Amino acid sequence: MTVATSRGGWRLLSTELRRRPAALWRLAGWSVLEIAPTAASGFVVARAVDEGFLRHRPGVGLAWLGGLAVLMVVGAVGARRTFGSLADIVEPLRDAVLAAVTAGALQRAVAGVERPNAGAVAQLTGQVEAVREITAALLMTLRKFGFTVVSTLVGITVLAPVLVLLVLPPLVAAVVLFWRLLVGVAPRSRATMLAAERTAASIGTVVGGVRDVVACGAERRAAAEVGAAVDAQADTERRLARLESVRIPVVALGAQVPLLLVLVTTPWLVGRALATPGDIIGAVTYLTAGLLPVLNALVQGVGSLGVHLGVVLHRLSEAAVVPEQDAPVDPDRPRDSRLEVRGLTFAYGVHADPVVHAFDLTVVPGEHLAVVGPSGIGKSTLANLLTGLIAPQEGVVRFGGVELPRIGPDTLRTAVALIPQEAYVFTGTVRENLGYLRPDADDAELDATCAALPLGALVQRLGGYDAPVAPGTLSSGERQLISLGRVHVSRAGVVILDEATCYLDPVAEAAVEEAFRVRPGSLVVIAHRISSALRADRILLLDGTDAHLGTHVELLAASPLYADLVGNWTGTAPQLA
Amino acid sequence: MTATASPTGAPAATQATPGDDAVGTDEAVGRARRRAADRVLLDTVRQGRWWTGALAVANVVVAIGNLLTPAALATALDTVLGSARGASEGPLLVLGGVLAAGIGATVLLELTQPYSAAASTVWLRSKLVDRVLALGVVGLRRFDTGDLVTRLGGNTATASAAGAVVLASALSLATSAGAVVALFLLDPLLGAVFLVGVPVGLALITVFVRQSSELYGRYQQLQGDVAGRFVDAMAGIRTIRSAGTVSREVDRVLVPLPELSRAGRSTWQMQGAVTWRLLLLAPLVEIGVLALAGWLVTTGRLTPGDLVAATGYTTMGLVFFDQGSILIALSRSRAAARRVAEVLSDPPAAPRSGSAVLPAVGDGTGGELVLAGVTVCSGGLTLLDGLDLRVPPGCAVALVGPSGSGKSTLAAVAGRLIEPDAGSVRLDGVELSTLDADELRRAVGYAFERPTLLGTTVLDALGYGIPAPVPEDLVAAAVAAHADGFVRRLPAGYDTRLADAPFSGGEAQRLGLARAVARRSRLLIMDDATSSLDTVTEVQVARAIEHALDGRSRLVVAHRAGTAARVDLVVWLDGGRVRRVAPHAELWSDPAYRAIFAAERVDTVASSTEEVSS
């Protein structure tokens, strides 16, 4: 993954922040209140010293300090309220980023751009959380730095304008230097993050595959590979440390050099009556109690946090990209539910052998077709082609006389249903799951489906249509039954079962296929067992290079492979007797 | 995951933990574990060597510099204010020197901290990786895979930070204590005022830690809810895709969002409340000290410079409150070290290897495997109970039995992925535990139900662990396992990177099979290694494997009757013992034997054939 440019990520953040100006202004307002005691501190100390303690009037001095104490209470109230405003900024930010990332990731998984991956999902949600926390930390640090610097400079100006000339130039130099360092360190910082990710991946592979490592006798190789990743990470960390240690003198330049300058010039300033002793003590207070801590916080925190946020935002902005969908502008309506394939050729890659080659097929309404062939030969790919989920390299697929890309997506998805092997059941009620494709289905229709499929017992056990379903508590077969019921109750004219009954027992499988066969529309079964093929009107045999179409009897005669396979099964039959 | 987590069929939860049988010694065990953890921590910190030493020096210099700064500042301030005419540069130079030394030491600190941590982490990780690999499958009985990854990745890094954390804690404590002493030295009253505020602050910190863990727990739970829905939708992506319902799914994933937002706001509010209290306390202590110092200036007991110094020492004394976060970091390091120590030093012991070699046999010749009185126990369960078994040279033997009968455990013992608690396992007359480790892995190959493919490319994965693999042999093995076809259809064929080629269960299984075939071992153990293949493919693969492995011995865990029908001999296991040994055809007349396949996964050849023939 490239992280060289993280501009898209920052744009994501700034767009979201700009949407909430009111919260930002509130945060600024409460911050002014929070900073008030710091802003006043030097001035108050100066007056307390000059007019009170140095003139032997402790009452006056204490009165000034009492005023500061009041301001501190006010400041504490302000500080407390800043968190409310902060929540108004970062909570909606997290909501927006999470929504964008969820939509992006699901849309891209649906478009087949990326393979769904549970690890990647966990990483994404973790990164969204990092955005929330780091943005909050950065906002708090940066606004405190900004307000403190301004109020310190104003305070010193009020005490003795000449002092600002001593404080401002080194401070500006320090901030400029800090920015330059930040830019210089950022790539190294990114490299460190990437190295850590590579180490984690390497550890994950070896630990996850420890049984296989041992069984292959490859312990030394595995240890060496993890060791190399760990060493590489340590290397980048050391390199980063060398670069980052340079930032410490920035603090000295920004806060301690002004302090020394003020002290060195004090005799001259006080002698010329350009500043009182109280002014000097006030300025020292501003520099040591105001400026130094915030400069430290800026230098220690902002650098690494900023880079981390940049990388994470970049990742998330990539994850939030929604692929373009090309729906036809003026879609044609299918005339019926006849499925036609003409001259179809498809391969995984440009250089790969085609999975199917110049292939013709027609499935008429009411027909029952079985597809058989070895695992990994492209049966699921064929299912995706027939439903228009992927486009063929050559040839066309027509539904109701219309080429699939010319049909509106909603029409096509409603008319052609694909049930994959991995059944999708989500947390919700039985009704929500069964009515997924037809939310308007009434109880009578659901009852009919439950009776047709062997689904009634399961629904009853779960507690009826309005009972909740927890996917994790269902067996694979039960999940398949629910997703089969969902399509059975739908209005789809073509149903494609892609090994959708593989976890059911043979009796249940036969019942399911029968239920779909008598249902209006056509049925395509990608078979896991040969028994599925024997029930079909016609059988399509894929052997990797060619496609053979015919009835069971025709294929037995025409395809040695088919005869061989069926013969093999029946070959064990005598033992049954 | 389940396949790797409990390869012996033993649920991890039933593992006995030390102390189960000796309730009275729980405390002693806990103490011993903490000691072991602290020992690991100490060893780890030592690996920083002179970087850690330099870090300690830097910390001491920084502490001294911090403590001297207010005093030096006060002296300098009094000097410049008191001698408006004709200043003495001495105190200013001292202040400059103290500040410069502080900066130098801080730079050193910033540099040595990551260097020492990196050295520690590298050492600890390498030690732990070696241990995990030495434990092998045995380790997975006790630790979940994800858990081990966390221990190796995150926990080692956290534990390695311990040195820096301890030093930072010492620095913070020393600075605070020194500052309080300095306040007392300036004037005992100042120190007394400061000390009054400290107990209040401590109480606040305790409240913070307690409240925050509850609120964060709620927040994390809701986050987990969102992530769970997200993962669910991803798992059902093909259904969502074909149903065209992706936008509805996005909404469903985000259902807990308002609740999450509310929980998030509570955490910020809690932080605000705590900050507010701390902000009230800290400055009020400062104002108290400052007011007292001001009064003391009036009476002449303190100089104006001392007033600045008093403020500085008060702030420094309050650094003590950072101790809360440092203590949390330290307890985190110790907890991490404990998790690392559990892997490093707790039982089970890693299996040891001998140096024996096997008697030479010709290439393509099978070995003879003899198990005698093999017993395997785990978590109070007896998985194999005094089991005897012989795989004659060049024969294929199937293990058949209901789940929990010990098939996978037997397969694991036969190639010494785990060791028997009693009995002997001999290959060509040599006890496996006395064999040289490399010799053993050359002699025994494994193919699993869910193999993990390791290496860079597909070709590399096939030759993984083979010292000098010959590409032609690897391709031949792929052909035998019926993997050649789909591999050639990949964008870059055999040179396709594993990361770029996500394989289906059936494809991964065939590659795992090819990897095992390529090893040309005298014994091949197949643990349900063709279960993801449809019946058509399984027949093809089985035939090709028979041909490729002609003459070598095979031990096959079989769930399908068809698999059992194709081997020379079936060993029928029940409850960790051998029930019968006979050819499949002979056993088939026994209804109890047929019942095994009926209860097993439904896609068996037997059930298909029954339908076909009926």
**Whether B133 contacts chain A with CB within 8 A:** yes
Helices of type H across A362-424: 379-386, 409-415
Higher pLDDT, B579 or B538: B579
Q: Which residues in chain A are closer than 8 Å to B532, comparing Cβ atoms?
A: 375
**Whether A131 contacts chain B with CB within 8 A:** no
Please give the angle made by the CA atoms of B322, A46 and A52, to the nearest 5 degrees: 110
What are the tokens at B231? 């993962």
What are the tokens at B252? 């469903």
Q: Are B236 and A75 an interchain contact pair (Cβ–Cβ within 8 Å)?
A: no
pLDDT at A92: 93
Higher pLDDT, B328 or B23: B328
pLDDT for residue B16 is more than 50:
no
pLDDT at B532: 67
Q: Are strands A368-372 and A547-550 parallel, antiparallel or unpaired?
A: unpaired
Tens of pLDDT, residues A261-280: 998 888 888 888 888 888 99
Question: Mean of the pLDDT values across residues A502-524?
Answer: 87
Higher pLDDT, B210 or A349: B210
Question: Mean of the pLDDT values across residues B22-38?
Answer: 72
**Whether A296 contacts chain B with CB within 8 A:** no
CB-based burial label for A268 (10 Å; 0-12, 13-18, 19+):
middle
pLDDT band (50, 70, 90) for residue A118: low
Give which of A189, A212, A387, A530 to mutate to test B binding, by max B Cβ within 10 Å: A212
DSSP A51: I
Residue A528 contacts residue A502 (beta carbons within 8 Å)? yes
pLDDT for residue A575 is more than 50:
no
Out of A37, A217, A544, name the one closest to residue B441 (CB).
A217
Tens of pLDDT, residues B381-422: 888 998 999 999 888 999 998 767 888 889 999 999 988 999
**Whether A300 contacts chain B with CB within 8 A:** no
Give the H or E element holding residue A526.
strand A522-526
Q: For A261-265, A492-496, B334-338, which range has the lowest pLDDT when averaged over its residues?
A: B334-338
Tokens 């040599």 label which residue? B430
The residue count of chain A comes to 577
pLDDT for residue A293 is more than 80:
yes
Q: Are A270 and B81 an interchain contact pair (Cβ–Cβ within 8 Å)?
A: yes
The number of helix segments (H) and strand segments (E) in chain B equals: 25, 10
Interface of A with B in 164-223 (CB under 8 A): 199-200, 203-219, 221-223
pLDDT for residue A379 is more than 60:
yes
SS3 B386: strand
Q: Are A375 and B231 an interchain contact pair (Cβ–Cβ within 8 Å)?
A: no
Cis preceding linkage at B283, omega within 30: no
pLDDT for residue B293 is more than 80:
yes
Q: Are A569 and B145 an interchain contact pair (Cβ–Cβ within 8 Å)?
A: no
Give the Cα separation of A120 and A409 in Å (integer): 28
pLDDT at B206: 63
pLDDT for residue B536 is more than 80:
no
Beta-bridge partners for B572: B400, B580
pLDDT band (50, 70, 90) for residue B304: confident
Q: Are B448 and A222 an interchain contact pair (Cβ–Cβ within 8 Å)?
A: no
Nearest-Cα distance to chain B for A5, in Å, is 24
Tokens 């035998």 label which residue? B480
Q: For B162-176, B205-219, B291-305, B362-376, which range has the lowest pLDDT when averaged over its residues?
A: B205-219
Q: Are B99 and A260 an interchain contact pair (Cβ–Cβ within 8 Å)?
A: yes
The Cα-based distances of A576 to A108, A566, B542, B559 in angstroms read 50, 16, 21, 17
Closest chain B residue by Cα to residue A93: B261
Give which of A102, A123, A220, A414 to mutate to test B binding, by max B Cβ within 10 Å: A102
What are the tokens at B59? 């910390």
Interface of B with A in 356-415 (CB under 8 A): 415
Q: Are A79 and B276 an interchain contact pair (Cβ–Cβ within 8 Å)?
A: yes
Tens of pLDDT, residues B88-127: 678 888 999 999 999 999 999 888 888 988 888 899 999 9
Question: Mean of the pLDDT values across residues B148-156?
Answer: 79
Tens of pLDDT, residues A440-479: 989 999 999 999 988 988 999 889 999 988 877 777 788 8
CB-based burial label for A433 (10 Å; 0-12, 13-18, 19+):
buried
Give the Cα separation of B78 and B91 in Å (integer): 9
What are the tokens at B508? 């991964």
Q: Which residues in chain B are closer than 8 Å to A238, comparing Cβ atoms?
A: 114-115, 118
Residue A138 contacts residue A308 (beta carbons within 8 Å)? no
Q: In chain B, pLDDT over 70 holds for what percent of residues?
A: 86
Q: Which residues in chain B are closer than 8 Å to A95, comparing Cβ atoms?
A: 257, 260-261
What are the tokens at B340? 């690392």
Residue A37 contacts residue A65 (beta carbons within 8 Å)? no
Q: Which residues in chain B are closer than 8 Å to A565, comparing Cβ atoms?
A: 536, 539
pLDDT at A352: 54
Give the Cα separation of A12 and A318 in Å (integer): 10
For chain A, report the end-to-end CA distance as a whole number of angstroms.
61
Closest chain A residue by Cα to residue B4: A211
Q: Are A118 and B235 an interchain contact pair (Cβ–Cβ within 8 Å)?
A: yes
Out of B130, B254, B271, name the one closest to residue A99 (CB).
B254
Q: Are B465 and A218 an interchain contact pair (Cβ–Cβ within 8 Å)?
A: yes
Out of A80, A125, A221, name the one closest to residue B273 (CB).
A80
pLDDT for residue B463 is more than 80:
yes
The Cα-based distances of A520 to A369, A370, A449, A493 in angstroms read 14, 17, 13, 7
pLDDT at B213: 62
Phi, psi of A344 (to 5 degrees): -80, 130
Residue B354 contacts residue B434 (beta carbons within 8 Å)? yes
ipTM: 0.81
pLDDT band (50, 70, 90) for residue B608: very low
Higher pLDDT, B261 or B338: B261
Residue B462 contacts residue B477 (beta carbons within 8 Å)? yes
pLDDT at A565: 61
Q: Which residues in chain A are closer than 8 Å to B145, comparing Cβ atoms?
A: 207-208, 210
Tens of pLDDT, residues B470-498: 999 999 999 988 889 889 888 888 999 88
Q: In chain A, pLDDT over 70 holds for what percent of residues?
A: 91
For chain B, report the end-to-end CA distance as a whole number of angstroms.
39
Closest CA to A412 of A467, A346, A341, A332: A332
Question: Mean of the pLDDT values across residues B252-279?
Answer: 86
CB-based burial label for B83 (10 Å; 0-12, 13-18, 19+):
middle
Closest chain A residue by Cα to residue B535: A529
Interface of A with B in 416-455 (CB under 8 A): 416-420, 422-428, 436-437
DSSP A470: -
Nearest-Cα distance to chain A for B60, in Å, is 17
Residue A540 contacts residue A372 (beta carbons within 8 Å)? yes
Out of B114, B257, B539, name the one closest to residue A238 (CB).
B114
Give the Cα separation of B465 and B519 in Å (integer): 9
Give the Cα separation of B470 and B467 in Å (integer): 10
Tokens 């996005």 label which residue? B250
Residue B145 contacts residue B136 (beta carbons within 8 Å)? no
Residue B378 contacts residue B6 (beta carbons within 8 Å)? no
Give the Cα separation of A307 and A193 in Å (integer): 10
The Cα-based distances of B405 to A261, A292, B3, B417 in angstroms read 84, 71, 16, 18
Residue A401 contacts residue A334 (beta carbons within 8 Å)? yes
Q: Are A528 and B238 an interchain contact pair (Cβ–Cβ within 8 Å)?
A: no
For residue B14, the tally of other CB atoms under 10 A from its CB is 12
- Which pTM value belongs to this model? 0.75
Q: Are B80 and A267 an interchain contact pair (Cβ–Cβ within 8 Å)?
A: yes
Q: How many Cα atoms within 13 Å fall on the side-chain side of residue A295? A: 31
Amino acid (one-letter) located at B151: R
The number of helix segments (H) and strand segments (E) in chain A equals: 22, 12
Give the Cα separation of B350 and B432 in Å (integer): 15
Q: For A278-282, A400-404, A436-440, B152-156, which range has the lowest pLDDT when averaged over its residues?
A: B152-156
Residue B515 contacts residue B441 (beta carbons within 8 Å)? no
Q: Are A424 and B239 an interchain contact pair (Cβ–Cβ within 8 Å)?
A: yes
Q: For A439-443, B14-18, B284-288, which range has the lowest pLDDT when averaged over its residues?
A: B14-18
Question: Mean of the pLDDT values across residues B174-203?
Answer: 84
Residue A41 contacts residue A285 (beta carbons within 8 Å)? yes
pLDDT band (50, 70, 90) for residue B22: very low
Closest CA to B124 of B92, B88, B97, B161: B161
Q: Are B114 and A37 an interchain contact pair (Cβ–Cβ within 8 Å)?
A: no
Residue B276 contacts residue A79 (beta carbons within 8 Å)? yes
pLDDT at B6: 35
Closest chain A residue by Cα to residue B594: A576
Q: For A285-294, B326-335, B472-481, which range has the lowest pLDDT when averaged over its residues?
A: B326-335
Q: Are A266 and B603 an interchain contact pair (Cβ–Cβ within 8 Å)?
A: no
pLDDT at A431: 93
SS3 A518: helix
Question: Mean of the pLDDT values across residues A58-76?
Answer: 87
pLDDT band (50, 70, 90) for residue A7: low
Helices of type H across A209-288: 210-215, 219-244, 248-251, 257-271, 277-285
Residue A323 contacts residue A107 (beta carbons within 8 Å)? yes
Closest chain B residue by Cα to residue A386: B242
Q: Are A203 and B149 an interchain contact pair (Cβ–Cβ within 8 Å)?
A: yes
Please give the angle made by the CA atoms of B204, B210 and B211, to the nearest 5 degrees: 85
Tens of pLDDT, residues A312-343: 888 788 778 877 777 777 888 888 889 999 98
Give the Cα separation of B429 and B367 in Å (integer): 9
SS3 B308: helix
Closest CA to A114 of A306, A411, A272, A323: A323
The chain-wide mean pLDDT, for chain A, equals 85
Interface of B with A in 17-56 (CB under 8 A): none
Please give the angle made by the CA atoms of A253, A239 and B328, to the nearest 5 degrees: 75
Residue A38 contacts residue A151 (beta carbons within 8 Å)? yes
Q: How many Cα atoms within 13 Å fall on the side-chain side of residue A227? A: 13
Interface of B with A in 446-485 (CB under 8 A): 446, 448, 451-454, 464-466, 482, 485
Nearest-Cα distance to chain A for B107, in Å, is 5
Residue B17 contacts residue B342 (beta carbons within 8 Å)? no
pLDDT band (50, 70, 90) for residue B515: very high
Q: Which residues in chain A are closer than 8 Å to B4, comparing Cβ atoms?
A: 208-211
Q: Are B234 and A355 an interchain contact pair (Cβ–Cβ within 8 Å)?
A: no
Give the H or E element holding residue A358.
strand A356-363
**Whether B16 contacts chain A with CB within 8 A:** no
Closest CA to B125 of A200, A70, A89: A200
For residue B93, the tally of other CB atoms under 10 A from its CB is 12
**Whether B227 contacts chain A with CB within 8 A:** yes
